[in-house]
Structure 1
């Protein structure tokens, strides 16, 4: 079958980003095997980062261990050694054999692996800049510098992105301005270009802008092509997140493809590609 990397419509290539390192909806999140597979294929793949008690970064979405792992309590209170003893849970909450990775582990895994030149691993930092002390920044740089050419760091905090990219030369930057109240206010005012301008003022070095998919479609409904507006400023657009594949989500994906987004974040890249009718 065709690997779920991208789809091309009207001459425009849109990557299908493997959200939380899932190739298919049944996959557990953040497994090393799926991350390596995506990077070998030249896919776009995303993992989340949360700071640990030792100033490292756990490859997890939540700031607590309870839902995603066999541990309990805040990630910030857990040592690296304790986190490495934990296992990831599957989608039903059952423990798996997959270990919880730290950023050090992820960097070492990728440094020893063949990586496609088109592959892009998004490190989505889930906290704000106040957690990023000198110790955390130093550990981030040490883990990421050897593989930075295939990575991009993102956050809803533009300052956090600036701090993280500032310690790793060549690391690409992204920014997520998808704050609902801000978007609603600019939508109501009829000045959606202000949303674009404000995002780029906050994160002038961001090459990828991550937008909740409804921002893209609601802007289009209001007569404003927000994708084209960011493209005009030299930025690429990732629309997140298509969580399941059904008639409603396929209609959304059709609109996103027609609007020319550069990535679509999905929990089921394989299922989505098949539903789009891409031949094997």
Structure 2
């Protein structure tokens, strides 16, 4: 099969985003080899970032080290050099050979490899703006500036996105508007147009809006094409995250494709692409 990059249905192309750097469900997260592969092939791929004790950015999802790495304690209290000594853990929790990377390390790896012009690396900042200072923003900018056209910085905190992207001209931006409690309240009161308006008002300049996939399908069940509503505001939509590929999730993916989401986040891009094309 071809590489799992995108699916085109009825003239609309939907990207398959490699969630946490995974091409296949069996892959461990955040390994340099898979991220480099995605960038070389022109895929959309996502990593998470959290602040270290030196105001660097570790390529990790959690603010603590214990689950994802061979280290322990908080990322924020651990120096860059110590973090680099830890290994990642595989899906079974056992240590693997791949080291924990900082954003600096990942960008250095990209500089020594090949980056397809269509590749897009999502830098999903898992914290808020209160942990960002001039040092953290400066380090982010220095690492990412050479690859700005192939990156999109995102967060559920709009202020953090503005601060980080403001230091890197040309970098795309994204905002996770998946406040499910707010969504369900507005769904119940028939005010989904307000949900869209408030999301756009919170982050008016972003290029991509990230929504839990059930927000998209529940809105459609209520007669609201929330994807089109955001498209009217010139926002692309990423629907996250399809974790397993089975009959139930495939049916939901088909709905998302009919609704013309621009990107589907999945832990198994290869399995999803194969199932959709079978």
Question: TM-score scaled to structure 1, two decimals?
Answer: 0.98
Shift of 1:70: 0.5
Shift of 1:232: 1.1
Whole-Å Cα distance in 1 between the matches of residues 158 and 221 of structure 2?
A: 28
Shift of 1:2: 1.0
Q: How does 1:1-280 map to 2 (within 5 A)?
A: 1-277=1-277
Unaligned regions of 5+ residues in structure 2, if any? none
Whole-Å Cα distance in 1 between the matches of residues 202 and 8 of structure 2?
A: 31
Whole-Å Cα distance in 2 between the matches of residues 2 and 28 of structure 1?
A: 22
**Partner secondary structure for residue 162 of structure 1:** helix
1:167-191 Cα deviation digits (max 9, x unpaired): 1111110000101111112111211
**Partner secondary structure for residue 276 of structure 1:** helix
Would you say how many aligned residue pairs link Structure 1 and Structure 2?
278
Shift of 1:112: 2.2
Whole-Å Cα distance in 2 between the matches of residues 40 and 63 of structure 1?
A: 29
**Partner secondary structure for residue 36 of structure 1:** helix
Shift of 1:71: 0.4
Question: TM-score scaled to structure 2, two decimals?
Answer: 0.99
Whole-Å Cα distance in 1 between the matches of residues 185 and 206 of structure 2?
A: 23
Shift of 1:160: 0.5
Whole-Å Cα distance in 2 between the matches of residues 204 and 108 of structure 1?
A: 32
Shift >2 Å, 4+ stretches: none
Whole-Å Cα distance in 2 between the matches of residues 147 and 255 of structure 1?
A: 34
Unaligned regions of 5+ residues in structure 1, if any? none
